[in-house]
Amino acid sequence: MATVKLENITKRFGNLIALDDITLDIRDQEFFVLLGQTGAGKTTTLRCIAGLDRPEEGTIYLDGVSINDKTPAERDVAFVFQSHILYPHLSVYENMAFPLHPRKLSAEEIDRRVRDIAQMLHIEHLLMRTPNQLSGGETQRVGLGRAMVRRPQVFLMDEPISNLDAKLRAEMRSEIRWRQQELGTTTFYVTHDQTEAMSMADRIAVLEAGKIQQLGTPSDIYNHPANLFVAGFIGNPSMNCIPCDISSTNGELQLRLAHDLGTDNSVAIQDDTKVLKTLNDSDSERNLVFGAHAEDVVVSHQSIPNAFQAEVYSVEPLGAETIVELTLGTDTSDAHTILKASTAPNFEAEIGQHIYVTFVPERMHFFDKTTGNAIL
C-alpha cells in the first residue's frame, strides 16, 4: 500500500509563495496528475514530496506516516525528471542497474530486475548501447526503466515526455499508463499539457499560482469546470467563455452574448430550471459569462430553430473534425469576439460567410464574471 497526503503545504522562495496551503490526498495505486501552467508550482510540489525542498508549513505523509524530517534517500520514491540524464560513459544496462548497487542486492537479482524491466519496456535490445546511440524515445524508456527497477512506493514524474515530438508523446502516454497499471505503483505525474492529463489520469488537480483550483476526474473537470480559469485551460480548443446577459421578455428567457457588440446574437432559453435558477440568483448588477465547449456549438448553413447568424472568421480542418471560428462582432477596441465550433470534417465554410448558430441547451455553463466561479 502506498498513499501520499499533502496537508496544508506552503512553500515560499523569499517573498514568492510557490505553494499556498495545498492539500491533496493520493490513493494507493492511483495515477494522479497535477496540471498547471509553467510557474504554477508543479515541480515544487514534487520536490517537496521527494525531500529536495522543505515546506515552511504543513505535513507530507507517506502511508499515513509523516516524512517531513526524512532525507530524500529515506523516502522510497523515484523521481523521473523532465530531462532524462543518463551517464554517458555507461551502457544502458549499467545506467539501469546503477540505483540498485547501494541496496546491496546480489548480481543475480540486479540482472533479473534490469532484464525484466527492459523486457517490459521493449528495450532489451538496447542494453549494450551507450546513451549517444539512443533516440529520444529510447532515452525516455531507459530513464523510466532506471526508476522502475528500484520498485519504489511512489513514482514522481516531472513532465517526462514534454521534450518528445507529438507522435512519440502519444506513444509514451499509452506506454506509461499501461506500465503503471501493470506495476500498480502509486504515481504522481505533473504536466502543463491538458491532453496528457485528460488521457492518463485517474484524477486531476488543476493548479494555478500555487493554489488548487479544482480536483476531480477528467470527466468531472471537463464537464463541470469550477471556474473560468479551469474552463479556459481544459479542452482543445478550450471552452468558449463570453460575457453575456440573461433577460426575461414576455416570460421567455433570452441569452445575449457580448451585449456591447451592437449585434443581435441572442437565443431563447425555455424550460431550463438551471438557467432559471441562475437568473433568480442574479441581481440586475451581476456580470455573467457564458460558457460552451466547441462541440456544443451547433452551426448550420440552413436556418435552424432558435439560432442567430454569425460571420465565419476562420476555418481549421484537423482531419477528424473542422474547427470553425465565428466572429460575433468587434468591441470598442476593434477586437473580434470569437466563438469556436467543432464541426464534422466534411463541413464546408468560407471566410466571410454567414451561418446559423445555436447551442446545446443542457450543455450551457455560466460563471460569475467578478469571482470567476461557476454558477451552474
Residue 373 belongs to a domain? no
121 or 128: which leads in pLDDT:
128
Instruction: For residue 339, name the pLDDT band (cuts at 50, 70, 90).
Output: very high
The helix or strand, by DSSP H or E, that contains position 212, with its residue range, turns out to be: strand 211-216
CA distance 98 to 87: 10
Overall average pLDDT of the 236-249 stretch: 87
Domain identity same for 200 and 290: no
For residue 60, the model assigns a pLDDT of: 97
Domain identity same for 219 and 260: no
Counting the structural domains of the chain, the total is 2
Grid cell in block for residue 251: 416570460
For residue 240, the model assigns a pLDDT of: 96
Q: Is 291 within 8 Å of 367 (Cβ atoms)?
A: yes
Of all residues in the chain, the percent with pLDDT exceeding 90 is 60
Give me the CATH number covering residue 325: 2.40.50.140
Tens of pLDDT, residues 261-312: 666 788 887 655 566 666 565 554 568 899 999 999 999 999 999 899 999 9
For residue 274, the model assigns a pLDDT of: 63
Overall average pLDDT of the 313-317 stretch: 95
pLDDT(338) > 90: yes
Overall average pLDDT of the 110-134 stretch: 90
Please, what's the b/e burial string for 280-302 (b: 16 or more CB within 10 A of its CB; e: otherwise)? eeeeeeeebbbbbbbebbbbeee
Instruction: For residue 226, name the pLDDT band (cuts at 50, 70, 90).
Output: very high
For residue 284, the model assigns a pLDDT of: 45
Residue 235 belongs to a domain? no
Domain extent at residue 340: 240-368
Task: Single out the residue in 203, 228, 253 at which a domain terminates.
Answer: 228
pLDDT(166) > 50: yes
Domain identity same for 94 and 154: yes
Residue 374 belongs to a domain? no
Domain identity same for 172 and 33: yes
For residue 231, the model assigns a pLDDT of: 95
Q: Is 281 within 8 Å of 375 (Cβ atoms)?
A: yes
pLDDT(52) > 60: yes
Bridge pairing between strands 77-80 and 154-158: parallel
Instruction: For residue 102, name the pLDDT band (cuts at 50, 70, 90).
Output: confident
Task: Single out the residue in 228, 256, 275 at which a domain terminates.
Answer: 228
Bridge pairing between strands 31-36 and 186-191: parallel
pLDDT(327) > 60: yes
Q: Is 38 within 8 Å of 192 (Cβ atoms)?
A: yes
Mean pLDDT of the chain: 89
Tens of pLDDT, residues 168-225: 788 888 888 888 888 889 999 999 999 999 999 999 999 999 999 999 999 999 999 9
Domain identity same for 183 and 313: no
Overall average pLDDT of the 221-249 stretch: 91
Grid cell in block for residue 121: 519496456
Domain identity same for 9 and 156: yes
Residue 99 belongs to a domain? yes
Overall average pLDDT of the 321-331 stretch: 90
CB contact set of 341 (below 8 Å; sequence gap of 6+):
294, 297, 298, 299, 323, 324, 325, 326, 357
Q: Is 46 within 8 Å of 100 (Cβ atoms)?
A: no
Grid cell in block for residue 224: 463541470
Tens of pLDDT, residues 75-99: 989 888 877 778 899 999 999 999 8
Domain identity same for 248 and 356: yes
For residue 55, the model assigns a pLDDT of: 96
Tens of pLDDT, residues 60-69: 999 999 999 9
